[in-house]
Amino acid sequence: MRIYEYESDRAELFKMMSSTLFTDTPASKVIVYDIATTSFEAANGCVFLIGTAYLKEGKLMIKQFFSEDITEEPDMLKSFFKFCDNFDKIVSYKGDSFDIPYIAGRIGIFEKDGDKILSSVVDTEALTSGLNRVREKSADLYDYIKILKPAIGLVSTKQDYLQKLVGQRLTQKVSGENVCHFYVRHLAENKLKMLSESVSLHNADGFISGYIRKDLDDDLAHIEMSDNTYYLQDLLSSNADSLLAVMYMTRLGLLFNIVSGRFDINIISDYTQKEKISIEYKFDTDNLQSSVIKIDLNIFDKVLKGFYTNYRDYYYFPLEETAIHKSVAEFTPSSSRKKATPQTAYCVSGGIFIHIPKSYYNLKLTLGDGLKVTDIRYRESFESEENFYPLSLIMNLPYEKQKEFAFHIFLEYAREHLSDLLISL
């Protein structure tokens, strides 16, 4: 087993991640990890590399545990667990659903067939204890991001998609998949073939043939991993990119603060321009390029029709082109009025309006004085799907209701400008 350790220049990114996710844990007590495996199932593969990222005296260090031989896998896991004992939060992306169960599966195989596969007895109790300690401190970023998928319209939660979305530039020259196949071929193939001749290993052939790409360059066939630093470096770089991906994806975790209501707002309005207002979203988070997100909103000086949704409670007056509530209209001549329909239960109103997000409108929120968002729909016509509200009404809302409005404005903005928004953080 080899251990590689070196400094990264992304310390500020790590600090941003730590302060965003863990306000009560020092950044020096947070570690990020990612494993590299030869398969998607523990029964058909192994863990051959575990990368970690952590702060040491304010510097971001990358520490990678590399198993040069499949017999070194237990020792590599043991070293990783021991190192993690120094930290309070152990961060991953989908570690709870893949990394930890995969390692648990490997430990189960060591317990059952360790003496046959590894030619030695493995202390699986110590490994299980170490894994449980990791599990107890685990913080899976996926738990944050999965909540955002329906909220802001994420296309996918796959890591490669999110890496591009948040603006991460990858460093490896050979794909992680190809490096994995290379590792399988040159470090596992011969040993597994020999083992399969003497031990009844049902998955030995599948371990090899199922994960070796037939179209890999034949020139790789004679290259030994230990003799070729180029491919070894690509292997380590791919793993380091995965570690950095967790930090980059914390930009999505920051949006989770908005979904969770952990933000403050400031609505800036200049009535003299009558063109736009701005909403500033402020986060109590250190080490961000910007702790404030500003969204500009167009406002409109126009005449609209306000359609009452409870139209049965109104009479329509054709000459005046307006609807009046029955409690008042019943005192007028019956010849001047008719029962209102959804299309005629409206009043004409002019002024400064702001667009209302559909998600906000559908909540049926009470704005004040018993008035709900859905009680009246300000539109250009009945058929229009765009809803507006008087800006003065929004500006006069209590702070918590303004914040609720701003939350839905943010969701709508994020769906349309997500990539630009994330890269700006």
Q: Which residues are within 8 A (CB) of 38 and not within 5 positions of it... i.e. 6 or more apart?
A: 45, 46, 48, 180, 183, 184, 188, 207, 211
CATH 3.30.450.40 fits 2-259, yes or no: no
pLDDT value of residue 13: 86
pLDDT value of residue 221: 37
**Angle, alpha carbons 117-4-252 (nearest 5°):** 95
Here the tokens at position 281 are 């979203």
Buried b (16+ CB within 10 A) or exposed e, 189-201: eeebeebbeeeeb
Q: Where are the domains of the chain?
A: 2-259, 264-424
The parts of the chain modelled with pLDDT lower than 50 are: 188, 190, 193-194, 197-227, 287-290, 368-369
pLDDT value of residue 108: 93
pLDDT value of residue 156: 77
CA distances, 349 to each of 264, 387, 395 (Å): 32, 14, 18
What residue type is 183 in one-letter code? Y
Here the tokens at position 353 are 């309006």
> Which helix (H) or strand (E) element contains residue 63?
strand 59-66
Biggest CA pair distance of the chain? 103
